[in-house]
């Protein structure tokens, strides 16, 4: 469950976590953890058809604009630490050359990544949603509303791809997952404690429970049937 804020909340003077996804459609998500344990997603940077060098320049500009005085912890796709066959420089090295100290997220396992976000969404703190989002995070919001999903396979019955559908919403949601993993939200999942209980309250924005979606054909990425 998350709450979409009606106005943008400014960055607070605490640590800013940034999640990164690379490729030709790179994205970044900026978030902070509140003292009560809730998360607020403050800003997104979504780019199309640009390389890592240009993305790094845009990211540096956004950091200077929004959180240059904050302590930063930046995590990205672990695949960004590998060299391409045509280039000996990795995305992480390119960012470091521009003064951005980013590190690989602890895992690239899709299930663990998704669970790390779901844990935050399922968290309730004093009856309040565990995740807040600034209204300016348009691509994230649209992804939560169904843009980020598993693609249905055209066979008898309901079957879905094993991995999320790659589209214009998947990159920013991948970035969010790397943010959450880097911040430690996935850490408890690797050591096996019980998952947080899901509130049974009304969830206006919940796309994590297929039973809350009455329209057939809307594919919720966090609940799929094999």
pLDDT tens-place string over residues 149-185: 777 666 666 666 667 778 899 999 999 999 999 999 9
Which alpha helices (H) appear in the chain, and where do they start and end? 52-67, 91-97, 110-122, 138-142, 170-182, 187-191
Distance CA 156, CA 152 (A): 11
Which long-range CB contacts under 8 A does 196-200 form with residues at least 24 apart? 196/119, 196/122, 196/123, 197/122, 198/122, 199/1, 199/122, 199/124
All structural domains of the chain: 2-212 (3.30.420.280)
pLDDT at 10 (0 to 100): 92
Angle at 220 between CA 217 and CA 223, to 5 degrees: 120
What average pLDDT does the segment 184-212 reach? 49
How far is the first Cα of the chain from the last one, in angstroms, to the nearest whole number? 24
pTM of structure:
0.79
Is pLDDT larger for residue 158 or for residue 63?
63
Query: In this structure, are residues 145 and 215 in contact, taking their beta carbons and an 8 Å threshold?
Result: no
91-116 exposure pattern, b = at least 16 Cβ within 10 A, e = fewer = bbebbeeeebebbbbbbbeeebbbbb
Using pLDDT thresholds of 50, 70 and 90, give the confidence band for residue 29. very high
pLDDT at 189 (0 to 100): 56
Using one digit for the tens of pLDDT, what is the confidence trace for 110-136?
889 999 999 989 889 988 899 999 999
**Which uninterrupted H or E stretch holds 9?**
none
Query: In this structure, are residues 77 and 173 in contact, taking their beta carbons and an 8 Å threshold?
Result: no
Distance CA 104, CA 112 (A): 15
């Amino acid at each position: 469950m998350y709450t979409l804020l009606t106005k943008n909340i400014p960055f607070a003077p605490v640590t800013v976590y940034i999640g990164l996804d690379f490729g030709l459609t790179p994205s970044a998500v900026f978030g902070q953890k509140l003292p009560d344990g809730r998360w607020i997603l403050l800003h997104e940077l979504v780019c199309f058809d640009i390389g890592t060098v240009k993305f790094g320049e845009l990211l540096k500009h956004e950091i200077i604009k929004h959180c240059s005085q904050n302590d930063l912890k930046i995590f990205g796709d672990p695949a960004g630490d590998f060299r391409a066959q045509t280039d000996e420089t990795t995305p992480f090295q390119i960012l470091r050359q521009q003064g951005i100290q980013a590190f690989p997220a602890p895992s690239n396992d899709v299930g663990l990544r998704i669970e790390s976000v779901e844990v935050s969404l399922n968290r309730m703190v004093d009856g309040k949603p565990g995740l807040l989002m600034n209204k300016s995070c348009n691509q994230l919001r649209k992804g939560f509303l169904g843009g980020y999903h598993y693609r249905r396979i055209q066979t008898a019955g309901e079957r879905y791809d094993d991995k999320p559908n790659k589209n214009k919403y998947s990159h920013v949601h991948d970035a969010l997952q790397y943010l959450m993993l880097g911040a430690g939200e996935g850490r408890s999942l690797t050591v096996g404690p019980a998952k947080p209980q899901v509130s049974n309250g009304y969830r206006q924005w919940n796309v994590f429970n297929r039973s809350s979606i009455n329209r057939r054909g809307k594919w919720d990425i966090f609940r799929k049937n094999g």
